[in-house]
Structure 1
Amino acid sequence: MENFVSNWSNGASLPESYVFPPEKRPGQQIFVLANSLPVIDLEFEAQEATKIINQISKATQEWGLFQVVKHGISEDLMDETMSVIKEFHAMAAEDKARECNRSCKIYSSSANYATEKVHFWRDALQHPCHPLQHYIQFWPQQPPSYRDVVASYIGQVTKLGHKILRLISEGLGLCPDYLSGELGEEPMLLVNHYPPCPNPSLTLGLSKHIDPSVITILLQGDVDGLQVFKDGEWIGVKPIPRAFLVNVGYLLQIISNGRLKGAQHRVVTNSNAARTTASFFIYPCDNSVIGPAKAVIDERNPRLYRPFRFKDFRDKYVASAADDKAIQEFLQHE
């Protein structure tokens, strides 16, 4: 409990344990690109489907991420969800800890807090979402509306995820439900909170990484902080009101045999405002075997990755602190 950044950071100076090495610090310059990141309108007629599929294919190949608007999730539900997760993180440390048990976890920095050399400037709440009737009993009971609001949100964002995955599948030449079945059986919600930071140039909310998911659907509110690494530089992702950010995870990069690129991203902090986000990770079950889809492999596109069990991949991802070199060695070692 004493490690939760949000419960001790107000007015404090930046502890040495949060200062990153010079080569990994964000520094003073933040690139903000408000208009170039792909934005996909998901309210379309049937005859426009091919155009939308092509837009998503282009975005996932070039950027590894895109924002979606007119996605079918109500503004009220998005606002209620953001409000209740902020309310959770505003509670006292002992109250937050008391609300989490078994499959519902709360921690500061990362799962490797005890062994990591430098800590991230964040607190995180994490819990599974499906089947809802099994896991909701382990979710926080405080704030009082948390379970009802978040359950409604999960139901809607799950439908959105299936729609996006069908469009991605068709763009890859796969059957529409290829990515929506077993590969999305065990979604996870991760609620990150990044308090105002006394020296944002020296630390990070999260360092450079690719998510270990098929895709991630992010509700990021209205505070800047997310950056994507493209063409050798960090580019700030300007939030669009009432939009969701969708990014390609490692698993989709592997399934597409490298045709789609996992989005390398990080989170920077700021000194003026807290940033709270909700990430919906679409994961397969532990024993699912992941590998390139047969339909994307041929003589001109040989297999780039070996098949593996998702649990083994996830364990390697956590143990290596999302280190890309270690993960690439795991993916290619027979």
Structure 2
Amino acid sequence: MAVVDCELEKELKQFDETKAGVKGLVDAGVTKLPRMFRHPPETLPSPNQNNGLDSNLQVPVIDLKDVDICDRRKEIINDLRKAAEEWGFFQIVNHGIPIAVMDEVLKGVRGFHELPQEAKEEWYSRDFKKKVNFFSNGELKVSTPADWRDTLSCKVLEDECNFEAIPEVCREQIREYMKYIVKVQEKLSKLFSEALGLDSDYLENLRCFKSRSLACHYYPVCPDPHLTLGGTRHSDLGFLTLLLQDSSGLQVLHDNVWIDVPPVEGALLTNLADMLQIVTNGKFKSVEHRVLMPATLEPRTSIACFVGTDDLQKPYGPIKELISEDNPAIYKEVLFGEYMNRYKL
């Protein structure tokens, strides 16, 4: 029979009831990491582990400049195919989003998280069906250490009406940023289709890249960064994630080695998610990643745009054109909505 840690359960409940998140702890002057955020040593980087710092390996950077010129497009598609097969992660530059727009949306999201508690607690909710909610950790359980992170979640952003529910301090910055994200998403849909040897509109017709939601993360300065994580190791569950980050901390697991993924000026980080691995029958990879808490004097902000289908009841399995006698299907069909219900965002 499992023994319930009543003191830890009480700590979790009290933390959630403040509606202030991790930032609230920092504002209250916490000087020691609360027990609920302490991760077991085996999940943390060891002191003598290089964590990718001394490695020659780095996530590929793909330049989308002149993507509509025939020979250049072939080169880009080859680079994208290789990155998708070997890494599941890559940075894209010359994607069409102005740096000023990227800077402003990061500034706006940070502005929300740094509002006084009473100005943002109205958005605090664990009702993940809401179009907009503010929370700390998708689940707070005694059995799972919490991550040192707060999140503003903005869902179903293909519907213009939903922008009005976003806090005013970052609403227009997010609206402007998403105008450009739509174009990047459409561009990548074509490039991924062609990289699979399919017609450029194939993934568009499957409605793989039709929905857009944001997880706007904030990682406050931590008193004991070596004892916790900003994000536990995981892979993403949708089709694609486009990430904007303002500082280091993110790592990707590549060939069983954790590789640092520092921000690149003007770049958008692209990572493939589980559903894209399923429909490509494992040709493209969805890989695990995590966020460390570096010992810094500045908080970290990141904005993850999760791209998926707008049909939650649509079954997805390996694309029939990619299946053959020599390459049989290794995944069963799955309903997108059921798969996504495993993850609270």
Match 2:52 to one of 31, 34, 49: 31
Residue matched to 1:69: 93
Is the radius of gyration larger for structure 1 or structure 2?
2
Contact 2:123/2:133 (<8 A) preserved: no
- Find out whether 1:302 has 2:324 as its counterpart: no
> Structure 1-normalised TM-score?
0.89
CA positional deviation for 1:116: 4.9
CA positional deviation for 1:3: 5.1
> Structure 2-normalised TM-score?
0.86
Residue matched to 1:208: 233
Deviates more, 1:196-205 or 1:173-182: 173-182
- Distance in 2 between residues matched to 1:178 and 1:212, nearest whole Å: 21
Q: Secondary structure, in 3 states, of the residue corresponding to 1:316?
A: coil
- C-alpha spacing 1:66/1:168, structure 2 compared with 1 (3 Å): same
Structure 2 matches for 1:279-290, cutoff 5 A? 279-285=304-310, 286-290=312-316
- Find out whether 1:105 has 2:133 as its counterpart: yes
- Find out whether 1:78 has 2:78 as its counterpart: no
- Distance in 1 between residues matched to 2:199 and 2:155, nearest whole Å: 27
Residue matched to 1:8: 25
- Distance in 1 between residues matched to 2:295 and 2:156, nearest whole Å: 33
Q: How many residues align?
A: 314
Contact 1:38/1:59 (<8 A) preserved: yes
- Find out whether 1:234 has 2:251 as its counterpart: no
CA positional deviation for 1:115: 5.6
- Distance in 1 between residues matched to 2:56 and 2:148, nearest whole Å: 25
Deviates more, 1:186-195 or 1:130-139: 130-139
Residue matched to 1:21: 40
CA positional deviation for 1:93: 2.3
- Distance in 2 between residues matched to 1:50 and 1:186, nearest whole Å: 28
CA positional deviation for 1:190: 0.7
- Distance in 1 between residues matched to 2:58 and 2:210, nearest whole Å: 33
Q: Secondary structure, in 3 states, of the residue corresponding to 1:282?
A: strand
- C-alpha spacing 1:100/1:200, structure 2 compared with 1 (3 Å): closer
- Find out whether 1:316 has 2:342 as its counterpart: yes
Contact 1:220/1:239 (<8 A) preserved: yes
Contact 1:100/1:140 (<8 A) preserved: no
Contact 1:173/1:295 (<8 A) preserved: no
Residue matched to 1:125: 152
- Distance in 1 between residues matched to 2:204 and 2:167, nearest whole Å: 28
CA positional deviation for 1:133: 2.0
Q: Give percent identity, aligned residues only.
A: 33
Contact 1:292/1:303 (<8 A) preserved: yes
Match 1:293 to one of 279, 304, 319: 319
- Distance in 2 between residues matched to 1:93 and 1:295, nearest whole Å: 53
- Distance in 1 between residues matched to 2:322 and 2:153, nearest whole Å: 34
Q: Secondary structure, in 3 states, of the residue corresponding to 1:57?
A: helix
Contact 1:132/1:151 (<8 A) preserved: no
Residue matched to 1:134: 161
Q: Structure 1: where are the runs of 5+ without partners?
A: 322-334
CA positional deviation for 1:2: 4.0
CA RMSD of aligned residues (A): 1.9
- Distance in 2 between residues matched to 1:158 and 1:25, nearest whole Å: 36
CA positional deviation for 1:56: 0.3
Cα offsets for 1:167-186 (capped at 9, x unmatched)? 11111112212223522222
Cα offsets for 1:270-311 (capped at 9, x unmatched)? 231211000111011211211111111111111011111111
- C-alpha spacing 1:230/1:167, structure 2 compared with 1 (3 Å): same
CA positional deviation for 1:84: 0.5
Contact 1:39/1:68 (<8 A) preserved: yes
Q: Structure 2: where are the runs of 5+ without partners?
A: 1-17
- Distance in 2 between residues matched to 1:100 and 1:165, nearest whole Å: 34
- Distance in 2 between residues matched to 1:82 and 1:130, nearest whole Å: 17
Q: Secondary structure, in 3 states, of the residue corresponding to 1:228?
A: strand
Residue matched to 2:213: 188
CA positional deviation for 1:132: 3.3
